[in-house]
Amino acid sequence: MKEIRVAVVQMNPRLAEVSENLEQMSDFVGKICIEQKVDLVVFPELVTTGYECGMRFTELAERVPGPAVNLLADRAAEFGTHIAFGMAAKERVESILYNVAILIGPDGDLIGQYHKVHLRGEERLAFRPGYRYPVLEAEFGQVGFLISWDLAFPEVARSLALDGAGLLIVCANWAQPDAEEWRTYVLARAYENSLFVAAANRVGEEYTYSFFGNSMVVGPRGEVYASVEEGIEGYAVARIDLDSVRKYREELQFLQCRQPQTYRAIVRRY
């Protein structure tokens, strides 16, 4: 059995306070990993900056790798764990920004990053959309990223599953009043692709949003292995067996029995 322990962190990042947020993230990693051996720690979307930064994202965004990635890489290497988190990143051209998710390995190396494809509302004013869904190779297996609203598009999770991902990492800023929508999407993506989902959603208030949390780790049959209570900062740790992904995919045949030739409408623009 390929058993690993996954922690989802439900954090309230302080708006535009990068140093303070990184310090809090570092503290969470230390606390979690001192209590028990953990293979992966997942943080929410834009956790280093907060969400409603508007034009300030231009000054707050960092290159990858950069100070934020380097600091968390040190923590990953110190405790021998993977760390996944969301941040605002910039390219060599300073004005090109992306909403990204980062995966760092237990040796402190940058495994890869994902640029959010489905931008929502005011995000489109700050960020460029990504255009592909990489499957990243962690020490324990293949993982894919979804950032918040990506979760609402089943094509994303299915694409990652078809490319070999057995675990989806979701970094999110999902707000009220859509708590039931959040839970439904997380469970559905796990069910329909027979895989694990580690979903970290933030809490706290900003100018126009109230974030509720309800972070969770969900299994291939929609079973909730661990969750964090709505509205509070904290974390939950789940022990999962990644070998069960292959078991359920063979048993249920969701991927094998697809009929792609009948799905042409899916790639047609609305």
**The domain spanning residue 81 has which CATH number?**
3.60.110.10
User: 267 falls in which pLDDT band (50, 70, 90)?
Assistant: confident
Distance, in Å, from the CA atom of 44 to the CA atom of 233, rounded to the nearest integer, reads 12
pLDDT in tens, 24-36: 999 999 999 999 9
* Total domains in the fold of the chain: 1
Domain carrying residue 21? 3-267
* pLDDT tens by residue, 128-157: 999 999 999 999 999 999 999 999 999 999
The answer to whether 93 and 161 have CB atoms below 8 angstroms apart is no
Instruction: Report the pLDDT value the prediction gives residue 270, as an integer from 0 to 100.
Output: 81
Instruction: Using the predicted structure, report yes or no on whether residue 67 has a pLDDT greater than 70.
Output: yes
> What is the structure's pLDDT at 125?
94
pLDDT in tens, 168-190: 999 999 999 999 999 999 999 99
Q: Beta strands of 116-213 (E only): which ranges?
A: 135-138, 141-147, 167-172, 196-201, 203-205, 210-212
The pLDDT mean for the chain works out to 96
Could you give the CA distance from residue 90 to residue 209 in angstroms, rounded to a whole number? 25
